């Protein structure tokens, strides 16, 4: 009798799970599932303790869901990817596994791990990998010359054309294979854990409930509401997508069900949200095409010559939300408290760190990963490189957000700021974005930091630093940072 093993990773759900669905197609096969925790590898990748807790909570739920289908979930904890490969090879031999099923991960280390495993199992256990975490697989959306797009808008246009030709239907959960089985709660990960809070309940059913509610009630207002952090205008689904409790196909199909004309209504809130899903795809396709993006390298090579400020005090002030710029500080305190940050605020905070403080974008990228409940290498790296003008973007490096003007535009009454900066509670709306000017006129002192940098002067310094780095490389035949599709 055949034995099929499903290796769960960042796909903690039983519905619309390509690997699980394929493993269950043979009704006579014995089906097992396995999850391997790798704490040392997680630490090396800066996984946030909150996200580790969220993964554990979903692991408990998926174990219960699998048990109801008569499928045992085996849990094991290894130190890192090398140890996990060795353990899995031994496990397959002991269980006489005929086929191993898994959904592909696209980060460099994960791809190397899967390649080593396939080599070690060659001739013993067949390996079947699936593109499950994306609407369209990497390398399927290319330019006319067969290269990866380097600018988002033409990628999106080509992506939508390909999407309309593709089958992206969601798969049902497998049918029960036998009576429900008993299971033992897995041991807590040997990793720092943190409270997720009440904002994000675990489980794919909760993720699907949130998706349905968003598409029915708020998606049409998404285009106008998404930029205002005091408004509940976003989907809040990113943590579920990050751990795989929800698939992008489920998002697309629910959106289509509620908004059938989404692809034709390009100015609608529904299309604007679809656009965000395609940004998610863009950054993953880029990461596969250019693996050096996983290795702390900028997409634009000359930007590695920017002379960054090395002082630690400004970085610590930014991390703690004590820069003296209310919109930045409110956002950082939201991140530190909840593990989540509104997307508009992510852009503002990233721009401030790089363009006002002239601190290396990689310090911010790492700090976000250490805090985010929805931490995801491709999206986080892509967002930071976009803000830092080091990445795949049509806009030049002199795009610099003015944090005060951004605050006035996207939190005009200061509702978000007051939620996270209680020390500014007495400052009137008209002065909330420059509170010290108001305090000086009143002759009082606020228990709030003075701005740690003058934006106007910082802008001049940053432009000079980027310009100097660019001039350094003019006329120099520098080799490319990496080769696509190794």
386 is known as an active-site residue: no
pLDDT in tens, 225-259: 999 999 999 999 999 999 999 999 999 999 999 99
User: What CATH number should be reported for the domain holding residue 289?
Assistant: 1.25.40.80
Q: Is 280 annotated as a binding residue?
A: yes
**Residues 308, 309, 423, 461: which is the catalytic one?**
308
Task: Answer yes or no: do 285 and 315 share one domain.
Answer: no
Q: Is 376 annotated as a binding residue?
A: yes
DSSP notation for 20-52: HHHHTSSTTSEEEEEEEE-HHHHHHTT--HHHH
Do residues 147 and 484 lie in contact, with contact meaning Cβ atoms separated by under 8 Å?
Answer: yes
Q: What domain range includes position 34?
A: 3-132
Integer-rounded Cα radius of gyration of the chain: 24
Task: Answer yes or no: do 252 and 332 share one domain.
Answer: no
User: What CATH number should be reported for the domain holding residue 18?
Assistant: 3.40.50.620
Task: Answer yes or no: do 41 and 138 share one domain.
Answer: no
Please give the sequence-ordered ranges of beta strands (E in DSSP) within 171-218, or none if there are none.
none
**Residues 7, 279, 302, 340: which is the catalytic one?**
279
The DSSP element (H or E) to which 126 belongs, if any, is strand 126-130
Give me 388's structure tokens.
Answer: 């830092």
**Residues 7, 42, 340, 384: which is the catalytic one?**
384
138 located within any domain: yes
Q: Is 276 annotated as a binding residue?
A: yes
403 located within any domain: yes
Of 254, 293, 295, which is closest to residue 277 (Cα–Cα)? 254
Task: Answer yes or no: do 230 and 324 share one domain.
Answer: no
Around Cβ 309, how many Cβ atoms within 10 Å?
15
311 located within any domain: yes
Residue ending a domain, among 265, 294, 323, is 294
For residues 454 and 460, give the distance between their C-alpha atoms in angstroms, rounded to a whole number. Answer: 10
65 located within any domain: yes
Task: Answer yes or no: do 377 and 395 share one domain.
Answer: yes
Residue ending a domain, among 294, 312, 336, is 294
Of 11, 246, 277, which is closest to residue 130 (Cα–Cα)? 11
- Strands 3-8 and 99-103: what pairing? parallel
Task: Answer yes or no: do 122 and 206 share one domain.
Answer: no
384 is known as an active-site residue: yes
484 located within any domain: no
Task: Answer yes or no: do 122 and 140 share one domain.
Answer: no
Task: Answer yes or no: do 331 and 458 share one domain.
Answer: yes
Show the DSSP H helices in 389-434 as ranges: 403-410, 415-420
Distance between terminal CA atoms of the chain?
38
pLDDT in tens, 18-43: 999 999 999 999 999 999 999 999 99
In degrees and rounded to multiples of 5, residue 431 shows phi and psi of -120, 5
Extract the residue ranges of the chain whose pLDDT is less than 50: 477-486
Of 132, 156, 169, 144, which is closest to residue 19 (Cα–Cα)? 132
Residue ending a domain, among 242, 266, 294, is 294
**Residues 318, 361, 386, 420: which is the catalytic one?**
361
Structural domains counted in the chain? 3
Which residues are registered as beta bridge partners of 74?
Answer: 34
193 located within any domain: no
Residue 439's Cβ-count burial label (10 Å; 0-12, 13-18, 19+) is middle
279 is known as an active-site residue: yes
Q: What integer pLDDT is reported at residue 398 of this predicted model?
A: 81
User: What does the angle CA 314 – CA 317 – CA 321 come to, to the nearest 5 degrees?
Assistant: 145
Q: Is 273 annotated as a binding residue?
A: yes
Q: Is 461 annotated as a binding residue?
A: no
437 located within any domain: yes
Which residues are registered as beta bridge partners of 35?
Answer: 8, 75
User: What CATH number should be reported for the domain holding residue 332?
Assistant: 1.10.579.10
343 is known as an active-site residue: yes
For residues 93 and 90, give the distance between their C-alpha atoms in angstroms, rounded to a whole number. Answer: 5
262 located within any domain: yes
Q: What integer pLDDT is reported at residue 92 of this predicted model?
A: 98
Q: What integer pLDDT is reported at residue 475 of this predicted model?
A: 58
Task: Print burial letters for 395-409: b (CB count within 10 Å at least 16), e (below 16).
Answer: eebeebbbbbebbee
Do residues 403 and 328 lie in contact, with contact meaning Cβ atoms separated by under 8 Å?
Answer: yes
Q: What integer pLDDT is reported at residue 481 of this predicted model?
A: 43
Task: Answer yes or no: do 121 and 216 share one domain.
Answer: no
């Amino acid at each position: 009798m055949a034995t099929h093993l499903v290796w769960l990773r960042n796909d903690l759900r039983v519905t619309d799970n390509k690997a699980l669905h394929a493993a269950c197609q043979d009704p006579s096969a014995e089906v097992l599932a396995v999850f391997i925790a790798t704490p040392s590898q997680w630490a090396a990748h800066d996984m946030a303790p909150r996200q580790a807790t969220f993964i554990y909570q979903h692991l408990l739920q998926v174990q219960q869901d699998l048990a109801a289908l008569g499928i045992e979930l085996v849990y094991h904890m290894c130190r890192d990817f090398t140890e996990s490969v060795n353990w899995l090879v031994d496990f397959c031999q002991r269980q006489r596994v005929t086929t191993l099923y898994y959904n592909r991960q696209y980060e460099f280390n994960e791809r190397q791990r899967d390649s080593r495993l396939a080599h070690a199992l060659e001739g013993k256990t067949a390996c079947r990998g699936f593109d499950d975490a994306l609407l369209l697989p990497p390398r399927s959306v290319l330019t006319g010359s067969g290269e990866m797009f380097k600018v988002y808008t033409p990628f999106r246009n080509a992506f939508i054309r390909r999407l309309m030709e593709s089958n992206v239907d969601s798969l049902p959960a497998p049918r029960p294979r036998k009576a429900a089985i008993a299971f033992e709660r897995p041991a807590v990960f040997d990793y720092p854990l943190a409270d997720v809070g009440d904002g994000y309940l675990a489980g794919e059913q909760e993720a699907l409930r949130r998706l349905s509610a968003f598409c029915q009630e708020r998606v049409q207002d998404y285009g106008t509401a998404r930029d205002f952090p005091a408004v509940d205008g976003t989907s809040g689904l990113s943590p579920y997508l990050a751990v795989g409790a929800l698939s992008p196909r489920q998002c697309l199909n629910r959106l289509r069900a509620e908004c059938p004309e989404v692809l034709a209504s390009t100015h609608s809130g529904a299309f604007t949200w679809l656009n965000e899903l395609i940004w998610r795809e863009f950054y993953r396709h880029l990461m596969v095409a250019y693996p050096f993006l996983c290795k702390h390298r900028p997409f634009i090579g000359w930007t590695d010559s920017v002379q960054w400020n090395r002082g630690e005090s400004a970085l610590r002030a930014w991390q703690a939300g004590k820069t003296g710029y209310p919109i930045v500080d409110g956002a950082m305190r939201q991140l530190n408290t909840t593990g989540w940050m509104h997307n508009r605020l992510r852009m503002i905070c990233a721009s401030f760190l790089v363009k006002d403080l002239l601190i290396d974008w990689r310090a911010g990228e790492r700090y976000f990963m250490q805090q985010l409940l929805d931490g995801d290498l491709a999206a986080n790296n892509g967002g930071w490189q976009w803000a830092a003008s080091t990445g795949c973007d049509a806009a030049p490096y002199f795009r610099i957000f003015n944090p005060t003007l951004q605050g006035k535009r996207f939190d005009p009454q200061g509702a978000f700021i007051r939620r996270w900066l209680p020390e500014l509670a007495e400052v009137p709306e008209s002065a909330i974005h420059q509170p010290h000017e108001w305090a000086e006129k009143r002759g009082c002192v606020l228990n709030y930091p003075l701005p740690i940098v003058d934006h106007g002067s910082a802008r001049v310094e940053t432009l000079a630093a980027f310009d100097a780095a660019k001039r350094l490389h003019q006329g120099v035949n520098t080799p490319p940072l990496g080769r696509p599709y190794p």
